[in-house]
Structure 1
């Protein structure tokens, strides 16, 4: 799979196993594929992962596609109550994070 992911031949991958230097772009691609880490995409994604079909936040919160869509919908409609609720949730989440 690594050879296909990096557009390299299996022979090249075997050479990496024997100690030949792996190009940085291939390392990032393999790390992202193997561990499902999103940080190689951009620094904003540092700590985010994909596991068992869920997006995992840096704090370990699993987000399903439906939760992401619902959260985005609440932001899009911009209703006063939802925005107030969003601020409260973020404030409480930051307080809880500080308790660690």
Structure 2
């Protein structure tokens, strides 16, 4: 397992809410899964609580540092911005973080 790098202002216990998801998928590597995570418009295809994904500032369809996007989850509207994005490779995990 790899440790999460929480920015100081988003440390669990000091924010209103935070979420961390990690999954181990047998038979797949991070490169196989990465497009499904990094292309937010795909989220509703496999996660029923994600909907209406769209991008701002003519960005997208992939996430990247500082990209602003919108999605809905559990009935909440989320205006989000990517704060960390690292493509997996060479034995290193992919990392994707945003705030909203």
TM-score w.r.t. structure 1 length? Answer: 0.23
Structure of higher RCO (CA pairs closer than 8 Å, 6+ residues apart): 2
Q: Who wins on radius of gyration, i.e. which is larger?
A: 1
Q: Structure 1 or 2: larger strand share?
A: 2
